[in-house]
Amino acid sequence: MTTARVSRPWRSPIVARDPNEAHRASTPLELLFDLCFVVAIASAASELHHALIEEHLYPQLLNYLMVFFSIWWAWMNFTWFASAYDPDDVPHRLLTLVEIAGVLVLAAGIPQAFEHEDFGIVTVGYLIMRLPQIGLWLRVAVSCPGDRTTALRYAGGLALVQVCWVLRLLLPDPWGFVGFFVLAAAEIAVPIWAERTGVTTWHPGHIAERYGLFTLLVLGEGVLGATVTIQAAISEGVSWSLLGVALAGLLVIFGLWWSYFTRPAEEGLRGTSRVSFVWGYAHYAVFAALAAVGAGIEVVAETATHHSELPAAGAAFALAVPVAVALVTVGALQSGLDSSRSYLLRFGVAGVLALVAAASTWAGVPLAVAALLIAAVVCALIVVDLIDVER
C-alpha cells in the first residue's frame, strides 16, 4: 500500500477566498500562531498578577492594557487577512514565522515595560509582527487586481503607522504616553479606511471559529496560572479555603466558557460589515478581561492562603471586575448579533458581582466564600441563559 505524497507549492497566486466556502476550518499554522500569542498573553497576565499582589494596580493597569492592545491587534489583523486570502504557500508560511518571532520578542519585553515603563523591546517585537503583514498586503495588490486599491491602502496605512511607532520612542513623557493612544486609534482606523474601497471576503464561519479557539486558549492560560498557584499553596498543606478557591476558579472558567459559546456567532456575522467590525474590535475587552480573570484567580488563591498581604476585598474585586467585564462585553456582542437583550441581564450580574466582592469588607465574608459566591452568580447566569435559549 502506498501513500500519496502531497507537495507544497513554493508560491501560489493569492486569490480572494469564497466567503461561503463549505467546511472552512482553521489551519494547523493558524493554531500554532495562536499558541505562540498565548505566551505573550500569559506574560502580560503574570505581570498584572504581580501588580495586584503588590497593590500597584493603577499605574500598571494601563501598562497591561497597552501591552495587550499590541498583542491583540497583531493577532486580529493576521486572523482576518488569513480568512480572506490565505494561500498557505511557502512565502506565506515564512512571513507567518516572522510574525511568530515578533510576538516572542514582544513577550520578552513585557517585564521591562511593566517594571521600568520601557516599551522599547515591546515596540521592536510589535514592528517585527507588523512588517510581514505589509508584505502580505502587497502580495494581494500584485495578485488580485480587483482588491488592489484596498490592499495598497492597508499596506500604506500600516507602513506609515509603524514609522510613527518608532518615532514615538523618541518622545519625552507625557507625550510618549499620549502618542500611544493616538497611534492605537490610527491602527484601528486603517482597516476602516481601507475597506471603504472594497470589503475583503472573509469567511464568517472561519472568523467565528478563530475567535472561539483563541478564547479557549486564553481561558486555558487562566487555568494554568491558577493551577501553578494552587500547587504552590498545597505544598504547605491543603485547607478548606484553598479547596473553595480552587472550586470557585473552576466554576468561573467553566461559566465564562459556557456564556461565550451559548449563542453561535457565525450567522450574526453574515450581516453588515459595521456589525462585524464592532464584533471583532470589541473582543479586545473580552480577551483582556479573560486573561485578567486568570490573574484574579491567582490573587484570590494567594490571599486566601496568606501568601499575600492584599486585603480580602481587593482580592475579591481582582476576580469580580474582570468577570463582570467579560460577561457584559460578551452579552453586548451577542445582543448585537441576534437582537436579544442579554446584555441587560449581564449589567445586573455585574452589579451583583460588585456587591459580593464588597461583602468581603462590609460583612466580613471570608474570601473563599466570596469567591464561591462569585462563581455561583456566574453559574446562575448560565441557568437563565438556558431558560432563555429554550424559549
Each residue's pLDDT tens digit, 371-386: 898 898 888 888 877 7
Amino acid at 284: Y
Q: How confident is the model at residue 8 (pLDDT cuts 50, 70, 90)?
A: low
Is the same domain home to 272 and 311? yes
Shared-domain flag, residues 217 and 350? yes
Domain assignment of residue 56, yes or no: yes
Last residue of a domain, one of 162, 182, 197: 197
Q: Provide the grid cell at 174.
A: 507625557
Contact 346, 327 (CB under 8 A): yes
Distance in angstroms (rounded) separating the CA atoms of residues 129 and 66: 16
Residue 17 maps to a domain: no
Inter-residue contact 362 to 304 (CB < 8 Å): no
Query: How confident is the model over 21-37, as pLDDT tens digits?
Result: 888 888 999 999 999 99
- In angstroms, the CA 165 to CA 186 distance is 11
Q: What is the pLDDT of residues 278-306, one digit of tens each?
A: 899 999 999 999 999 999 998 888 888 77
Contact 201, 19 (CB under 8 A): yes
13 in any annotated domain: no
C-alpha cell at 192: 476602516
Fill in the amino acid letter for 94.
Answer: L
> Which domain does 245 fall in, by range?
204-390
Q: CA separation (Å) from 362 to 9, 313, 317, 378? A: 66, 9, 13, 22
369 in the same domain as 263: yes
What's this model's pTM, rounded to 2 decimal places? 0.91
Residues 332 and 375 both lie in one domain: yes
User: Is 19 part of any domain?
Assistant: no
Beta-carbon contacts of residue 242 (< 8 Å; ≥ 6 apart): 230, 233, 234, 301, 304, 305, 368
Of the chain, the percentage scoring pLDDT greater than 90 comes to 43
Domain shared by 193 and 208, yes or no: no
State the pLDDT at residue 380.
85
- Concatenating the DSSP letter of every residue in 282-328 gives HHHHHHHHHHHHHHHHHHHHHHHTTS--S-HHHHHHHHHHHHHHHHH
Final residue belonging to a domain, choices 154, 172, 197? 197
Q: At 342, is the secondary structure helix, strand, or coil? A: helix
Kindly state whether residues 105 and 180 are assigned to the same domain. Answer: yes
- In a shared domain, residues 146 and 180: yes
Domain boundary among 167, 197, 227: 197
The reply to whether 225 and 185 lie within a common domain is no
pLDDT score at 1: 47
Domains: count for the chain: 2
Q: What is the pLDDT of residues 104-145, one digit of tens each?
A: 999 999 999 998 888 999 999 999 999 999 999 999 999 888
Q: Do residues 189 and 229 share a domain?
A: no
User: What cell was used for 105?
Assistant: 520578542
CB of 26 closer than 8 Å to CB of 203: no
- Looking at the fold, whether 228 and 377 belong to one and the same domain comes out as yes
270 in the same domain as 165: no
Q: What pLDDT is recorded for position 334?
A: 82
